[in-house]
Chain A
């Protein structure tokens, strides 16, 4: 029962996630945490981060969510749900679009829905911020600010940046915030 539900949730979420994993994050939060109570916000964030640290398409986060809910079968169900959704459309639409041949409005629609993508991603960022804020304000501000400067200056690439932020947080928590 849960497996079918997982598949269906991941299928739906995958379809409405404009802009990849960040589009899906608020919906996962709503369904997995609020609606079904399968996961806590913390667990969702863990999966999100591990997904960011894995190579390939970042929708892999769904697999981790499935794993947390129902073990390896859950991971498989989530994998199938997430990746079969775009395949269906790509397969059907490839044939259709080749018949239509030229699609000048396509680019325009893509431009038009960009604000939507920005909104989805902003929601994802705010959701993460909310969770991290509850976990501790001071380390968030300290490490966030220094990571922002480091990244904007171009000193570190994305994955090294995440790894060093992790190391910094761990150092801070052991050295400064010893309770």
Chain B
């Protein structure tokens, strides 16, 4: 975590729109001063690509990293990780937040907004097309959709399982205090799940959950 890289994010990136070329030889220097940055058109095309072909939430974040850090050196790894952290902490779907946050910093509000639209509109149109075109009441379609749901459920359970493993990885069992922390985190997860299933309002659950999580993290 180098603070200088973070601090210069705004100024370095405002060049992004006008930088089209340059040699990438010194790209690993701090602040990435002589880096090739992704032009605004590339940013919009990238979002259109996600909007048209990006299936699955988990697969999209690495695409950002590749486009911005590894392929074009628009951002340093530390800058990208910082933006990712910010977008995960801010309320709302983190993909949209990340896109808008980076888009605004790199190219200004208008291009940022256009980027979000490029990403969201194709999927929405595609989904509406499915809904209007497919006779959903037909028994065969109904069966098909039941199967889709089972598939989606398996994917979801797998994701929950992997995330729960990550909770444990953050708290190694060799130290008993940290094991308690892991148990506390599991308990929070279970409580949150239970209260949502009991149809408590999300806002309440989220507020109490955040309090509990932060308490465990910073006090335990």
Contact = CB atoms under 8 A, between A and B. Distances in A.
A172 B57 CA distance: 30
A164 B186 CA distance: 33
A60 B120 contact: yes
Contacts of B15: none
Interface residues of B, number: 97
A170 B122 CA distance: 28
B216 interface: yes
Contact of B120 (A52, A83, A172): A83
A4 interface: no
Given A123-B192, A123-B193, A162-B152, A106 B202 contact: no
B164 interface: yes
A3 interface: no
Contact of B160 (A53, A89, A93, A118): A118
Task: Say whether chain A's binding surface is mostly helix, strand, loop, or mixed.
Answer: helix
Interface residues of A, number: 107
B82 A144 contact: no
B130 interface: yes
Interface string B75-94: 00000011001111111111
B96 A86 contact: yes
B4 to A, nearest CB: 9
A169 B147 contact: yes
Contact of A55 (B51, B139, B214): B51
Interface string B29-54: 00000000000000000000011111
Contact of B3 (A17, A101, A136, A158): A101
A128 B93 contact: no
A119 B209 contact: yes
A97 B86 contact: yes
A158 B60 CA distance: 13
Nearest to B119: A56
A36 interface: no
Interface in A35-81: 45-61, 63-64, 67-68, 72, 75, 79
User: A57, A87, A166, A169: which has the most chain B beta carbons within 10 Å?
Assistant: A57
B163 A57 contact: no
A169 B56 contact: no
* Nearest 3 interchain pairs by C-beta: A169-B147, A119-B192, A56-B123
5 contacts: A13-B202, A34-B199, A107-B85, A143-B150, A167-B147
